[in-house]
């Protein structure tokens, strides 16, 4: 299928490219990852052309700003990274748009940067790489806490999507992975970490306060669609600390949008569609940590959807979600 739109497509600036090295693991692809993360012109566009991806929304690689302990440094780098993304959009306006990197160490600064990116640079939303560390390496700040209500008010007022992207848990809070470091990142830990953060948001009451919030998860929902029925069923017996006014599954189905990034699997795709419906599922690749060819070859051939649905999920849903000026 030609004309696909993708939006878990990552890049780096010089200061953040080294942070992605752990994701390369033992693949021997680190040099290749580096080139692909830093390139937003020739190689990336050639891959897009080859795989029928017409348009991509670019964002900063994980953990990016969220691993910077000094707040002022994070604020400064956010501005630099977003200006870099804006430069790529300016050079290739028919191929790219931007998702803002945000210095979540300071909710007010994150709000101000999101407003700048949307109102001045024309960005279509934000992508944040999970929890934020601040001041001390062992900190992990999640965005369901009251200190972030004003930030969510800004997201609501701007009416733009917020992509909650995975990052690796810090060692001080990952004792259950001891002796098995392979579990901490993409094979398992990314989904665990991101799904817990998403469920915390569902249970915080934030969606009661801001009814138009739109949260995006990749990888076919970080395992939540498969588990959602049981989560709701068991919460009949365990609701201690839950601050939502409605069942958790209601918030997830109403406020979350799910991409195919990095999970090119028919049974998982079918489950996600059954739980969320075709209006809330989107194509994405997760480049460069997944190959665009793998994403596109699977998506273009999967028999889980009809050709009409293939166009909707691969293109028109994203145009509507991000209010893109594309035919």
Residues marked as catalytic: 286
* Torsion angle, alpha carbons of 312, 314, 319, 325, to 10: -120
The count of other CB atoms within 10 Å of the CB of residue 297 is 13
Helix axes 149-158, 107-119, angle to 10 degrees: 10
**Is there a contact between 62 and 19 (Cβ–Cβ < 8 Å)?**
yes
Helix axes 266-276, 224-234, angle to 10 degrees: 50
Nearest-angstrom CA–CA distance, 65 and 53: 27
Closest residue by Cα to residue 296 from 308, 280, 313, 279 = 313
Query: Could you tell me the CA-to-CA distances from 286 to 11, 82, 110, 182, 309 in Å, in that order?
Result: 11, 19, 24, 19, 21
Residue 160 token pair: 């733009």
**Is there a contact between 30 and 23 (Cβ–Cβ < 8 Å)?**
no
Query: Could you tell me the CA-to-CA distances from 40 to 20, 168, 274, 324 in Å, in that order?
Result: 17, 25, 35, 20
Closest residue by Cα to residue 144 from 220, 7, 241 = 241
Residue 290 token pair: 């997944």
Closest residue by Cα to residue 170 from 151, 142, 200 = 142
Nearest-angstrom CA–CA distance, 110 and 75: 8
Beta bridge partners, 9, equal 58
């Amino acid at each position: 299928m030609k004309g696909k739109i993708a939006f878990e497509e990552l890049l780096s600036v010089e200061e953040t490219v080294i942070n992605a090295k752990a994701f390369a693991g033992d693949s021997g692809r680190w040099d290749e990852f580096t080139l692909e993360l830093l390139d937003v012109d020739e190689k990336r566009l050639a891959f897009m052309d080859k795989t029928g991806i017409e348009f991509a929304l670019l964002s900063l690689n994980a953990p990016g700003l969220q691993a910077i302990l000094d707040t002022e440094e994070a604020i400064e780098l956010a501005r630099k990274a977003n200006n870099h993304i804006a430069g790529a959009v300016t050079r290739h306006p028919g191929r790219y748009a931007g998702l803002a990197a945000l210095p979540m160490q300071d909710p007010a600064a994150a709000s101000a940067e999101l407003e700048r990116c949307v109102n001045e640079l024309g960005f279509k939303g934000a992508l944040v790489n999970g929890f934020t560390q601040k001041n001390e390496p062992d900190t992990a700040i999640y965005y369901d806490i009251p200190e972030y209500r004003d930030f969510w008010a800004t997201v609501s007022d701007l009416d733009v999507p917020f992509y909650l992207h995975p990052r690796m848990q810090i060692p001080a809070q990952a004792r259950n992975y001891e002796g098995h470091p392979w579990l901490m990142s993409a094979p398992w830990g990314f989904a665990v970490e991101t799904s817990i953060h998403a469920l915390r948001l569902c249970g915080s009451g934030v969606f009661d306060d801001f009814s138009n919030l739109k949260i995006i998860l990749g990888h076919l929902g970080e395992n939540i669609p498969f588990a959602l029925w049981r989560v709701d069923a068991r919460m009949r017996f365990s609701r201690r600390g839950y601050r939502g006014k409605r069942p958790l599954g209601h918030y997830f189905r109403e406020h979350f949008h799910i991409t195919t990034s990095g999970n090119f699997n028919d049974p998982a795709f079918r489950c996600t569609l059954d739980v969320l419906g075709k209006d809330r599922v989107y194509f994405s690749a997760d480049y460069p940590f997944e190959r665009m060819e793998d994403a596109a070859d699977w998506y273009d051939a999967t028999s889980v959807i009809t050709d009409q649905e293939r166009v909707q999920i691969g293109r028109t849903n994203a145009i509507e979600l991000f209010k893109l000026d594309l035919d």
